[in-house]
Amino acid sequence: MVVIKKDKKKRKVSKKRKLEQKCLKLWSDCVRTRDMTCKQCNSDYKLSAHHIRSRTNLSTRYLLANGICLCWKCHSLQKWNPERFQDMILEIIGDEKYQELKRKSLMEITKHTEYDLEIIQEYLEGKLKDYKAGIDFNDLPF
C-alpha cells in the first residue's frame, strides 16, 4: 500500500515574527559570546543561553542582563529539578540582581512593534560586535 502525503501549505511568516526570531537569535549569540563558558561549571561544551526571568516577560525578553550561559548539563537541571536550578541561578547572580530583574520583568509591555524590534535588533547586533571584539562587558548579570 502506498501512502500519498498531501502537500501542506506553508504559512507565511510575518515580518514581525521574523524580527522576533532574529532578535532572540541575536540575544542568544550575545549571551554565549559574552560569557564564553557555563557560569555554573565553567564548561565550554554545548553552551546555551538561558533567560533568567522567563522570555514570556516582554519587558526583559531581550535584555542581555537577563541572560546567562549554561552548558547542556547544567541547563537540563531546570527540567529535572527546578527548585535546585532556581537556587543555582540565585547563587550565580545574587539575590539583588535577581530582584532587580524580577522588578523589570513585571513591567507591563503588551506588544513590541516592528519598529521596537528593529531598534532592538540594531542594538543587539552592535553588542555582539563589541563582545566579539572583547569590548563592553558592563551588562553582566553577575
Give the residue with greater pLDDT, 12 vs 60: 60
Task: Give the number of domains in the chain.
Answer: 1
Residue 4 lies in a domain: no
| Cell numbers given for 64 | 542581555
Would you say 67 and 49 are in contact if contact means Cβ atoms under 8 Å apart? Answer: yes
Would you say 39 and 69 are in contact if contact means Cβ atoms under 8 Å apart? Answer: yes
What is the phi/psi pair of residue 55, to 5°? -70, -5
Residue 48 has pLDDT above 70, yes or no: yes
Residue 35 lies in a domain: yes
Residue 14 lies in a domain: no
CA distance 140 to 108: 24
Residue 86 lies in a domain: yes
Coil, strand or helix: which one is 54?
coil
Residue 112 lies in a domain: yes
Residue 138 lies in a domain: no
> CB count, 10 Å around CB of 104?
15
Range of the domain at 50: 27-127
Q: 74-120, pLDDT tens digit by residue?
A: 999 999 999 999 999 999 999 999 999 999 998 888 789 999 999 99
pLDDT grade, residue 140 (50/70/90)? low
Residue 135 lies in a domain: no
